[in-house]
Structure 1
Amino acid sequence: MAKKPLLFRGSFPEVPVSKLAVSDNDDGGSSTSAHASGKGLIGTVLEAYNGHLHLQLRPDDIWISILLQFSNYANGRSESLRSKFVSHAGKMGLKVSSIGTLETVDFGALSMAMMNEISNNLKDPTLQEWFLPGFSTTTAADNVTAAATVMATMQQYFSYEFGILCGIPLVTLLGSVED
């Protein structure tokens, strides 16, 4: 399998990798490939413009930016929008749990589980399909980012609790039946 820097060169042979600005990069931080801007979507566009760089965007990057702005809008109007999203008053508590420790638990899976809980308690559960990106470029990290954004969007309607189940995984009682 070709390394990603070679894939970049094959996709954009006329653009040196050092002249490529991307909004996201999942190559593990290789110094020989294009690097992601840490400045968000608009910052990446401005960096590319000011540096005369080739700009590479994914639809997921645009979608997450739209979701973030929608979150700001919805949070600023949470009570007037309440009837569009939920049937309950106040905040409904939602809880998800997973087995593990702080070092081993899959926080992405917990976020997606919370997204499912939110969806199950919305007036229209199919909104989950709208919230989550579904592009050919979508990664698991994109879905987790969208789920976290949905949690921020719905924070006036739900409170969130994450449980990490741990303890004694197995008890063995030694001895005989007579003991």
Structure 2
Amino acid sequence: MAFEIYLPLTDDPEGDAKAARLAGELGEIGNERFLRAVLRDPAAFHHRSTDRLVGWVTATPGAVEPNSSLLLRALHLSFTAHLPLSLSPDLLWYAVVHEVAVHVRLNSVAYEGLFTDTPGFRQTITVYDDSAPSDWERSINLVQEPLRERIGTETAELFQPAFSTTTSADATAALVALMDVVSPYYRFRWKSLCGIPRIRLEGTAGDWDLLALRVRGLADRFEGLRPWFTALHPVLDEIAATAAGRGVEQEFWRSLYKYRSRSGGASVTGWINAFFAHRYTDDGPCPKEEFGPGSSSAGDFPSHVSRVPFRWQTLVGTFDMAVLGGVLGIERDEEWIRPRLGHAVVELLPADPRDDRLPEPWYLADIQRLTGSREARLLDTLGTVTHEGTLLQVDCGIDVEEGTCVVRTVEGDWYLGDLVSNAGDIVCWENCGPDLGVALRTL
């Protein structure tokens, strides 16, 4: 709904012609130059609810972009080019609040009682939002609740009327204007730091005591794992103490997955590492030497799926089967993320034969999966293979993609190289050591 006001112009053919020409020359010039002029300091834009700005393109080199109000610029465009103007109550409300903000900044002591209960001390309002980069409008509005708690709902609503014309962008602009008003009393901070906000320990305190007790029972029977169990016991004891209501050690629980919930990278640095006695590589599990909190990559962990093969004899034949058990799923239990134990039964179908040229336990399909190259293939012909001018004796070569190869020497090291002829000649450029997985990941 809108109300239109008609303002007939005086009869002026020459002026009308000039206005029509100016209107025809208007174009979309974007608002980046204007915003940079307002900011004055260098800036990179992460979000703009609008990037539109109609104006006249100037060809003057080095022309200075004016930084005065676009409201006034819109009036000038309408007035000069005889174009109708559309105004919203949201727009004029913002203009009023903007002036209030300036007044409060100039007289902050006089209005402390209206906006803060800590005169002379500037409070910090922190917004925690890991998804801010994907939706800044939503993230800005997360200020609403903590700001209302401080200045009161009545004051907050006074500054944020809802008109029938109000869009989400309008409402957000009004909120930013209010933030500007209270800026002498509050500073704002955004934190996009991944973390686990709450952890639920299912069952009873007795269950968690029993867990710690049974692990100690295992430690008595497996001498070779004693260093691992020694590192694991304190972790289980702390969990049991929490479940028993003996207090929550914040730093401990914040360090479950990432040490002190610190973001960044794919490494696992928390005490969950203590639950793993082995490091899992493409060539199989390797015993670990350190078992406490540390740094492990996602590839260092097992599948947590146990596989037990069996043969199933039926009236129609005998089948190779396997029963699986372990962590088979993740469910959403209302707001909680819940890893789920489960089991499955599968029939083992005939697999493509493994090429004996590949080291155990590698299949060509493993290489294709790891490299993302469906074209990966074993080289049937190996010609002259060199590394920095030195001839290499090789017994296996894999063309991973378009002539990029990995080859294995008779000594067992894997090299990266380029296939340079149809005769299988390869020029190598890096020695990756005896681990095929490391070589493939280096590509």
Please give the TM-score of this superposition, normalised by the length of structure 2.
0.30
Q: What does residue 162 of structure 2 align with?
A: 134
Does structure 1 conserve the Cα–Cα contact (< 8 Å) formed by 2:132 and 2:139?
no
Give, as a single letter, the amino acid of the residue that structure 2 aligns with 1:56. S
Does structure 1 conserve the Cα–Cα contact (< 8 Å) formed by 2:160 and 2:174?
yes
Give, as a single letter, the amino acid of the residue that structure 1 aligns with 2:95. S
1:120-164 CA deviation, whole Å, 9 max, x = no partner?
A: 101x32222121241111111111111111111111111111111
Q: Which is higher, the Rg of structure 1 or of structure 2?
A: 2
Residues paired across the two proteins, number? 148
Whether 2:250 is the aligned partner of 1:121: answer no
1:3-31 CA deviation, whole Å, 9 max, x = no partner?
A: xxxxxxxx99xxx9x69xxxxxx9996xx
Structure whose residues are more often strand by fraction = 2
Choose between structure 1 and 2 for higher RCO, CA contacts under 8 A separated by at least 6 residues. 1
Q: What does residue 378 of structure 2 align with?
A: none
Does structure 2 conserve the Cα–Cα contact (< 8 Å) formed by 1:133 and 1:142?
no
Query: What's the CA shift for 1:80?
Result: 0.9
TM-aligned CA distance change 1:155 to 1:101, over 3 Å: closer
Output the CA distance in 2 between the equivalents of 1:109 and 1:27. Answer: 15
Output the CA distance in 2 between the equivalents of 1:42 and 1:154. Answer: 26
Q: What does residue 80 of structure 1 align with?
A: 110
Does structure 2 conserve the Cα–Cα contact (< 8 Å) formed by 1:101 and 1:164?
yes
3-state SS of paired residue (2:303): coil
Give, as a single letter, the amino acid of the residue that structure 2 aligns with 1:138. T
Q: Which moved more, 1:107-116 or 1:38-47?
A: 38-47
3-state SS of paired residue (1:54): coil
Does structure 2 conserve the Cα–Cα contact (< 8 Å) formed by 1:91 and 1:159?
yes
Unpaired runs of 5+ residues, structure 2, are 6-19, 25-48, 56-67, 195-262, 269-297, 307-324, 326-443
Query: What's the CA shift for 1:88?
Result: 1.1
Q: Percent identical across equivalent pairs? A: 19
Q: Which moved more, 1:135-144 or 1:49-58?
A: 49-58
Does structure 1 conserve the Cα–Cα contact (< 8 Å) formed by 2:104 and 2:111?
yes
3-state SS of paired residue (2:85): strand
Q: What does residue 46 of structure 1 align with?
A: 76
TM-aligned CA distance change 1:101 to 1:135, over 3 Å: closer
Query: What's the CA shift for 1:76?
Result: 0.9
Give, as a single letter, the amino acid of the residue that structure 2 aligns with 1:91. R
Does structure 2 conserve the Cα–Cα contact (< 8 Å) formed by 1:115 and 1:151?
no
The correspondence for 2:101, drawn from 59, 65, 71, is 71
Query: What's the CA shift for 1:98?
Result: 1.4
The correspondence for 2:189, drawn from 151, 158, 161, is 161
Query: What's the CA shift for 1:83?
Result: 1.0
Q: What does residue 95 of structure 1 align with?
A: 126
Structure whose residues are more often helix by fraction = 1
Output the CA distance in 2 between the equivalents of 1:72 and 1:95. Answer: 24
The correspondence for 1:174, drawn from 287, 303, 309, is 303
1:49-107 CA deviation, whole Å, 9 max, x = no partner?
A: 232221111111111111111111111111111112221121111111112263x2x22
Does structure 1 conserve the Cα–Cα contact (< 8 Å) formed by 2:124 and 2:187?
yes
Output the CA distance in 2 between the equivalents of 1:101 and 1:60. Answer: 25
Output the CA distance in 1 between the equivalents of 2:124 and 2:111. Answer: 19
Output the CA distance in 2 between the equivalents of 1:159 and 1:28. Answer: 27
Output the CA distance in 2 between the equivalents of 1:28 and 1:159. Answer: 27
Whether 2:116 is the aligned partner of 1:107: answer no
Q: What does residue 22 of structure 1 align with?
A: none
TM-aligned CA distance change 1:108 to 1:28, over 3 Å: closer
Does structure 1 conserve the Cα–Cα contact (< 8 Å) formed by 2:125 and 2:146?
yes
Does structure 2 conserve the Cα–Cα contact (< 8 Å) formed by 1:41 and 1:62?
no
Output the CA distance in 1 between the equivalents of 2:50 and 2:188. Answer: 32
Whether 2:89 is the aligned partner of 1:59: answer yes
Does structure 2 conserve the Cα–Cα contact (< 8 Å) formed by 1:101 and 1:165?
no
